[in-house]
Chains A and B, each alone.
Chain A
Amino acid sequence: DTGVSQDPRHKITKRGQNVTFRCDPISEHNRLYWYRQTLGQGPEFLTYFQNEAQLEKSRLLSDRFSAERPKGSFSTLEIQRTEQGDSAMYLCASNTQYTEAFFGQGTRLTVV
């Protein structure tokens, strides 16, 4: 296992379209996090899973954002009715209670 994997690496979409990103955490990592990073800023926490349970979702940016982790392994982040302000890097991280969090390389979203 080489690390946290995110797919796709880049996504260009038209305003109003829905997009879905996938994150595959390091195997055996039961905790998974989504962050958003806009240009020139630090990552901003969005949501957190422990196994399949979404333990924190109040920081999702709007009701257009949703995340799932149905079997406690991979996770998806969906943005409905995308807006130009959604353009950013979406980062996923994973860990166990005993380890640091490892980040993936991110999915760069451009909304045109």
Chain B
Amino acid sequence: GENVEQHPSTLSVQEGDSAVIKCTYSDSASNYFPWYKQELGKGPQLIIDIRSNVGEKKDQRIAVTLNKTAKHFSLHITETQPEDSAVYFCAASKNSGAGSYQLTFGKGTKLSVIP
């Protein structure tokens, strides 16, 4: 089955700096890669996703890059703010049918943004 590795497990940055979280996956058939933000006591919330036919996607301060050959993808947050502090998870799935979300998650990165 799929295996997703995520690094680092913790990350502290100064407010305004950039943060980068990296993930690798094992199954070359995986074609959908979402990123989730989870705040304490809440469920994961999708912040950005990318499909295997795209190399990069950006949404305001958040961007994701995908390297299919190397089987890794990364989350980039620029101009970090204290409210970005949370646990971030990467995930991967083989989208066997449109909208199928049988996801394999990484272990998470706890991001702390220091004011």
Contact = CB atoms under 8 A, between A and B. Distances in A.
Contact of B44 (A48, A56, A91): A91
Interface stretch (B13-21, B67-75, B91-99): B91-99
Given A103-B45, A106-B43, A31 B100 contact: yes
Nearest to A93: B101
Interface residues of B, number: 25
A94 to B, nearest CB: 9
B41 interface: yes
**Interface residue tally on A, bucketed by range:** 20 to 34
B16 to A, nearest CB: 28
Contacts of A33: 101-102
B97 to A, nearest CB: 7
B98 A98 contact: yes
A56 B102 contact: yes
A111 interface: no
Interface string A91-104: 10101111111111
B107 A105 contact: no
A110 to B, nearest CB: 14
A38 to B, nearest CB: 10
Given A103-B43, A105-B41, A42 B106 contact: yes
Contacts of A41: 105, 107-108
Contact of B102 (A45, A103, A105): A45
Identify the interface centre among B97, B99, B104, B106: most chain A CB within 10 Å of its CB. Answer: B99
Contact of B89 (A43, A93, A96, A98): A43
Listed from nearest, the 8 A-B pairs whose CB atoms lie closest are A42-B105, A103-B43, A97-B99, A101-B101, A97-B98, A42-B89, A103-B44, A105-B43
Interface of A: 4, 31, 33, 35, 40-45, 48, 56, 91, 93, 95-106
Interface of B: 4, 6, 34, 36, 41-46, 49, 89, 91, 97-108
